[in-house]
Amino acid sequence: MTIHAPERLLKISEVMARTSLSRSHIYALIKTGDFPAQRKLGHKCSRWVETEIDAWTRGIAA
């Protein structure tokens, strides 16, 4: 049996720090499909999956 750690969810401030992108640029990239979309957790709560952000940053660094 394999035990998987739960996915870590990032706030927009953490995404901005990891990618060096502004909030508006992140949302513009999401709109064009060039950045991982956030997960809506409530009316005013969104988070990004850490592994998706890590994969995106590795993709642009290559």
For residue 48, is it within any domain? yes
pLDDT surpassing 70 at residue 1: no
pLDDT digits (tens, 9 = 90+) for 9-61: 999 999 999 999 999 999 999 999 999 999 999 999 999 999 999 999 998 76
User: CB of 18 within 8 A of CB of 57?
Assistant: yes
Segments forming the whole domain that contains residue 52: 9-61
For residue 28, is it within any domain? yes
Quick one: DSSP state of residue 8? P
The domain tally of the chain equals: 1
Q: Does the predicted model carry a pTM greater than 0.75? A: yes
For residue 19, is it within any domain? yes
Measured distance CA(28)–CA(38) in Å, rounded: 12
> If you write DSSP's letter for every residue of 10-51 in order, what string do you get?
E-HHHHHHHHT--HHHHHHHHHHT-SPPPEEEETTEEEEEHH
